[in-house]
Amino acid sequence: MQIKVYCDHHLQSKAAADQIAELLLWNSSALLCFATGDTPKLTYELLVERLMNEKIDISKCFFIGLDEWVAVSKDDTGSCHWFLHHYLFEPLNIPASQIHLFDANAEDLQAECRKMNDLIRYKNGIDLMLVGVGMNGHIGFNEPGTKEDGLAHVIDLDATTLSVSKKYFNGEMQASKGITLGLGQFLSAREVIMMASGSKKAPIMKMALEGETGTQVPASLVRNHRNASVVLDKEAAEGLQLISQNLFQ
Ligand code: GLP
């Protein structure tokens, strides 16, 4: 694992966008998995800009979603579905044939999980996964205590997640469950970018990067990943020992 700390959110986002673009330059048929949330918004805007400006070919790439709020409509601006279409798929004109997201309104959510697991297997694994970190250390909707080798599953959202979720939704949020890729899929992705920004993420990043490694803080498992970059702005890195080791970019 590599930890990279940037002076501000713009530089942090540019670094993440460049890392994705560089993968796409040599692997034009990559299987990509992108998180939603406030953290990667600017990364996606910068990625779209670079891919368009340099006409990087992504016509053979395939995009999958990391997670979704169960029973929330796809058109709700708080849904992961809406977010990914708005920030990535529409600006990049990605056709539906290159996208597979969880249908969190499906009657059979277990079948949705199986479909996602089968697709990832069929495509020979995830090439690049970009994740954020929840206030409780979750990755996707892998809440504290989720098993380390899990695949896609439905999960009860914990109190922290439910309370933080209000920032994404205009009205009342109905979901009490999430559907998510599992930590096993996170750990076996060929490349991982984990992002956190802002001082509100500093305590959880300190636990994740310098506390005990384990599923109580799912983000700490990034330390077991063989090819992960943790991309932080300096506020999220506040209090880390590494700050004194001069890791600023
Ligand atoms: C949400 C999502 C995650 C996201 C995380 C951080 O609940 N399920 O995929 O990465 O929490 O969100 P934010 O970037 O808004 O802090």
143 given a catalytic annotation: yes
Does 104 have pLDDT greater than 90? Answer: yes
Between vectors from CA 217 to CA 211 and to CA 218, what angle results, nearest 5°? 125
> 249 falls in which pLDDT band (50, 70, 90)?
low
Q: Which residues lie below 8 Å from residue 208, measured CB to CB, with a gap of 6+?
A: 133, 137, 217, 219, 220, 222
Reported as a single tens digit per residue, the pLDDT across 55-100 is 999 999 999 999 999 999 999 999 999 999 999 999 999 999 999 9
pLDDT score at 41? 98
Reported as a single tens digit per residue, the pLDDT across 11-57 is 999 999 999 999 999 999 999 999 999 999 999 999 999 999 999 99
> 109 falls in which pLDDT band (50, 70, 90)?
very high
Helix orientation angle between 9-26 and 41-53, rounded to the nearest 10 degrees: 50
Phi-psi region of 59 (alpha: psi -120 to 50; beta: other; left: phi over 0): alpha
138 given a catalytic annotation: yes
CA dist., res. 110 & res. 116, Å (int): 10
Q: Which residues of 137-162 are buried (b: 16+ CB within 10 A; e: fewer)?
A: bbbbbbbbebeeebbbbbbebbebbe
Counting from 1 in the atom list of ligand 1, the atom nearest the Cα of 35 is 9
Does 243 have pLDDT greater than 80? Answer: no
Choice among 9, 67, 85, 127 that is catalytic: 67
Q: What is the mean pLDDT of residues 155-169?
A: 93
Contacts 24+ apart (CB under 8 A), 135-138: 135/160, 135/161, 135/164, 135/200, 135/201, 135/204, 136/160, 136/161, 136/204, 137/204, 137/207, 137/208, 137/216, 137/217, 137/218, 137/219, 137/220, 138/218, 138/219
Distance 4 CA to ligand 1 centre (A): 20
CA dist., res. 47 & res. 21, Å (int): 7
pLDDT score at 178? 98
* Average per-residue pLDDT for the chain: 95
- Whether ligand 1 lies within 6 angstroms of the CB of 137 is answered as no
Q: Which residues lie below 8 Å from residue 246, measured CB to CB, with a gap of 6+?
A: none
- Whether ligand 1 lies within 6 angstroms of the CB of 54 is answered as no
Distance 37 CA to ligand 1 centre (A): 4
Q: How far apart, in Å, do the first and last CA atoms of the chain sit?
A: 16
pLDDT score at 246? 52
Counting from 1 in the atom list of ligand 1, the atom nearest the Cα of 161 is 7
Does 132 have pLDDT greater than 80? Answer: yes
Counting from 1 in the atom list of ligand 1, the atom nearest the Cα of 39 is 14
pLDDT score at 175? 87
Does 170 have pLDDT greater than 90? Answer: no
pLDDT score at 174? 79
Q: Say if CB 132 and CB 236 are below 8 A apart.
A: no
Choice among 9, 81, 85, 138 that is catalytic: 138
CA dist., res. 188 & res. 194, Å (int): 14
Distance 132 CA to ligand 1 centre (A): 5
